[in-house]
Amino acid sequence: MGVSIFRPRLAFSADRASAERAAAQEKAERFRSLMLPHMDAALTLARYLTRDASAAEDVVQEAYLRAFRSFDTWRGEAPKAWLLAIVRNCFLNSLGAARATEELTEEPVEDQSPESVLAEKSEAAMVRGVVEQLPEPFRETLVLRELEEMSYKEIAAITRVPIGTVMSRLARARQMLAELLLPAAEKRA
């Protein structure tokens, strides 16, 4: 009679792998259904923060990757606010990285080209250009409130400042916007 050799088996390894795949698929589906509807808002915020469409896409891509990786830590409240906070943090990180490597340079001011004159004839293009001239904290607050229709509480959570600061920044941003728009409107008249 032959000697039998004991060979341990992982009896549940196939079941465990199947359960892990199912859980990963469920997470991905939940992420898609909750976060993808806010991609336009994420791109809008990133465009205003970066002032560059290509850089904005990079920031949003990084934000979605980070959001997916940390989706398990999300508490389930205000998915748009949570995602936009990540977009903002990715922008700030990219800004810090650019400054650290001295990649951030200011472009020289040039005379208006015929293309920019044509673009300014469009009211939306003019307002967009004026909003982009606002300093970053004011621009960010204005975009989150007026374009993304976020509440003061959500903006405070995203920007990590008190609600009073949000209100102050918004009032100041509106004032600066009015001051910048009035001369632009007078030039067109």
Q: How far apart are CA 105 and CA 123, in angstroms?
A: 29
- pLDDT given for residue 12 in this prediction: 57
Q: Give CA–CA dist 167/14, Å, rounded.
A: 55
- pLDDT, residue 62, reads 94
Q: What is the pLDDT of residue 83?
A: 94
Q: Write b or e for each residue in 161-179: b if 16 or more Cβ atoms lie within 10 A of its Cβ, otherwise e.
A: eeeebbeebbebbbebbee
pLDDT in tens, 147-160: 888 999 999 999 99
Q: How many Cβ atoms are within 10 Å of 136's Cβ, its own excluded?
A: 13
Q: Are 100 and 19 in contact (CB under 8 A)?
A: no
Rounded Cα gap, residues 98 and 78, in angstroms: 30
How far is Cα 180 from Cα 185, in angstroms, rounded to an integer? 9
**Predicted TM-score (pTM) above 0.75:** no
Cα–Cα distances (Å) from 114 to 58, 119, 153, 168, in that order, read 29, 9, 43, 38
Give 63-95 pLDDT, tens digit per residue. Answer: 999 999 999 888 888 899 999 999 999 998 887
Radius of gyration for the chain, computed over Cα atoms and rounded to the nearest angstrom: 24
Task: Report all structural domains of the chain as residue ranges with CATH numbers, in order of start.
Answer: 19-105 (1.10.1740.10), 108-189 (1.10.10.10)
pLDDT at 112: 58
Cα distances (angstroms) measured from residue 174 to each of 4, 44, 124, 130, 161: 83, 18, 16, 11, 18
Residue in the structure block whose two tokens are 């020289």: 108
Can you give the pLDDT of all 189 residues of the chain as single tens digits?
A: 566 676 665 555 567 778 888 888 888 899 999 999 999 999 999 999 998 889 999 999 999 999 999 998 888 888 999 999 999 999 988 877 766 555 444 444 455 556 655 555 566 677 788 888 899 999 999 999 988 889 999 999 999 999 999 999 999 999 998 888 887 556 655
